[in-house]
A and B are shown apart, each in its own frame.
Chain A
Amino acid sequence: MALASLDRLSYWYPAGQSRVLDRVTLSISPGLTVLAGPSGGGKSTLLRVLNGLVPHFHGGRIAGSATVAGLDVLHTPTRRLARHVGFVFQDPERQAVYSTVEREVAFGLENLAVPSADMPARVEAALARAGASHLRERRLATLSGGERQRVAVAAALVLEPQIVALDEPTSQLDPEGVELVLEACRELAAAGTAVVIAEHRAAGLLDAGRLLLVDAGRLSAGSGRPYSVRPRPRARPHLEAWHLMGVSAGPAGRALLEGVGLAGGVGEVVALTGPNGGGKTTLLRCLAGLLPPLAGRVERRPGRVAYLPQDPAALLHRPTLREEVELTLRRAGEPARSAPILKRLGLGALSERYPRDLSSGERQRAALAAVLAGAPAIALLDEPTRGMDQRARGALAELLAEMREQGTAVVIATHDAELVAAVADRVVRVENGAARDQGAPAAATAVTLEPVPAELPA
């Protein structure tokens, strides 16, 4: 039984010349549907058709037809479709209205004027279905990323929708958080809800449902295939590029790191792993010189330090992507040639685009291009593959390998096991204020649609 069906649906964003969705025909039934495909391919747009955010919230031009729960999407406002389609967004912090779990989950019920007496039971049921009952009394600010996304899932479920759409809900989560959310999705699908999830990290969902590929606005059946990413052993470098000596550091005078001693060499890639809130970003900021240590000393080799913050939007403010890259190069006193790095990261065709108009994965690559352009002595990258598709991650892995050969010392804070396996020389786990050197990375399993990309070592 189809809960949603799209028939030759095409869509253009306002002022957009090309179709973001190109004659998409799709039928969604109870169970799990995974949307995969490159960044900017149309996954998020397709999800937004299901609850009418496209076209009602975003505007633009639409052709074809879409029906959800028997309602014509093109003529039914999102607030009515909200009764039938729950939606979970990428960033758990940017979708919360209230500050406590219970009220946050009840927000949708309040909007639909559900009688107050009925609400507590429905909130309880939604939290249970999302596996978040134990969080009911908590404040959102005290939750981990994975817990917050579970609350977001509960907030979507509380309206008892037939369809739940999730737009890259795990892109900012650590492995534990990812598993929490994916497990909730699997359970929902098993219970008869139609779960549609756009996700780059699809490995955990392959066996649970069908896989669809969305590329250039077109839809095709995908065939997910796991493959192994094996680390390439390298000799330890001799020259030291950076050194933390007994460093204690943290924001607002509170030490998140205690007495950390760590060093990295010229042309060495060090991956910092560990749970959200463990201190990876603090360590990177300390190394960048942005956060003075409370105790201990930080030493860096002379030269430019390239720093990628977690949020790519923190960097992007020039009218075009080309100018964004040229700004970095000009300030570094290097030739202002933006084309090579843009091409390397698959952004050549987007060089004259406004960076903030790009999709989340493209934005991430734009921010990477803006900081990695030229020849930095040290590159500090905080979650560099956030929201990036397989091909883009492969391109980044290649770029980092090249930078390593040229002598750049690279430090990456990441949850991406595949990237770690592909590029890291050494893994350091940062947790509970300590940094433990774990040596060479282990092999990781990645999932791809056919064929296996050549960029990642297979």
Chain B
Amino acid sequence: MSGRAVAAWSAACLLGVLLTTNPGYRALVLAACLASVLVGAGWRRARRLLAGVGVAVLAAVLLNFAFSHLGADALWALPDGWVLVGGPWTLEALVFGVASGLALAAAILAVAPLSLLLEPQQVVDALPAPLARTGAAAAASLNLVPGLGRSFMAISEAQRMRGWRPRGPASWAEVVVPAVLTAIEDSIQLAEAMEARGFGSGPRTRYRPTRATRADVLLFTAAGLSAVLLIAARALGQAADWQPYPYLTAPVLSALGVAACLPLFLPVWLWRSPR
């Protein structure tokens, strides 16, 4: 699998999310991303990410619902004097929050395959030559991530055994501080190890130039096609923005806009082999 092909697909998905506020298209892109991630990575590997996405979406919905008091259909109202949350809580704000949540979820899942499905070296190989050094540093950072999780667990266990108990946010400093310090130390050690292996010497070469497979070409084509159709739909007014305020209206979908989203489902077929 070529990192560049996956990156192109991710970019096309992001374009679909950012080009229009229409929740219909965003939902389609989200469906493509979700299905692709589940097929490519499997439920077991993706479940933590999906849980995180769920929390982020919920937060987006709640924040918009609680703080945006626009819209005609008030579901209930809190006293005006209450800071931020005071005023009417409207159906429009709730729906807009859901639409924003869709975009957030789609955006996260669009880039998820870059870390879930690709090896760090594939990400580095996907970058243009001028960014290769940055990419190598990023790949090294990615390699530290699993260790961070383990380190956090080990620290909280060790402190628990010394009598520490979580009592409010301040008490977590005894776990968070050593975890952060350990992360910094790990980073410094890795930087030292990279320096000792000549990192930063100048222009880099690559171990094996990657050759695009048929699947990569297909994915490139699908991403390009989707992007072109999305831009065309937008230019022709067929992927217009959607605005729920002040009165809630149903989003309008066009055939061209829907057709633009369909190629994004290609990975569901391409990545279906078990990993």
Contacts and interface: CB of A to CB of B under 8 A. Distances in A.
A17 interface: no
Contact of A53 (B159, B195, B205, B209): B195
Closest 9 CB pairs of A and B: A331-B163, A95-B193, A111-B198, A82-B198, A307-B161, A87-B196, A108-B197, A314-B158, A317-B178
28 contacts: A78-B196, A79-B199, A79-B201, A82-B197, A85-B196, A87-B193, A89-B189, A93-B147, A94-B189, A95-B189, A95-B190, A96-B143, A97-B120, A97-B136, A102-B207, A103-B119, A107-B136, A112-B201, A113-B205, A119-B205, A309-B157, A309-B158, A311-B154, A317-B174, A317-B178, A328-B162, A332-B163, A371-B161
A314 to B, nearest CB: 4
A219 B71 CA distance: 79
Contacts of A285: 157
Interface residues of A, number: 61
Interface in B128-166: 136, 139-140, 143, 147, 151, 154-155, 157-164
Contacts of A61: none
A289 to B, nearest CB: 8
Interface of B: 119-121, 136, 139-140, 143, 147, 151, 154-155, 157-164, 174, 177-178, 181-182, 185-186, 189-209
B236 to A, nearest CB: 45
Contacts of B143: 96-99
B181 A313 contact: yes
A422 interface: no
Contacts of B200: 79, 111
Contact of A112 (B163, B189, B198): B198
A151 B136 CA distance: 19
Contacts of A110: 136, 204-207
A116 B206 contact: yes
A80 interface: yes
Contacts of A94: 147, 186, 189-190, 193
B207 A119 contact: yes
Contacts of B207: 102-103, 106, 109-110, 116, 119-120, 123
A51 B195 CA distance: 10
Given A97-B120, A111-B204, A83 B196 contact: no
Nearest to A82: B198
B128 to A, nearest CB: 15
A108 B198 contact: yes
A59 to B, nearest CB: 12
Contact of A305 (B161, B164, B182): B161
A53 B196 CA distance: 7
Given A110-B204, A111-B204, 5 more contacts: A97-B194, A109-B207, A110-B136, A113-B205, A315-B158
- Most chain A CB atoms below 10 A, which of B159, B161, B204: B161
A433 B185 CA distance: 33
A106 B199 CA distance: 12
Contacts of A112: 198, 201
B178 A313 contact: yes
- Most chain B CB atoms below 10 A, which of A103, A314, A370, A371: A314
Interface in A66-103: 78-80, 82-83, 85-87, 89, 91, 93-100, 102-103
Given A113-B203, A113-B204, A116-B207, A311 B136 contact: no
B154 A314 contact: yes
Nearest to A112: B198
Contacts of B155: 314-315
- Most chain A CB atoms below 10 A, which of B140, B157, B193: B193
B198 A159 contact: yes
A152 to B, nearest CB: 9
Contacts of A91: 189
Interface string A153-190: 00110010000000000000000000000000000000
A99 B162 contact: no
A171 to B, nearest CB: 14
B195 A57 contact: yes
A434 interface: no
A137 to B, nearest CB: 13
Contacts of B195: 53, 57, 78-79, 82
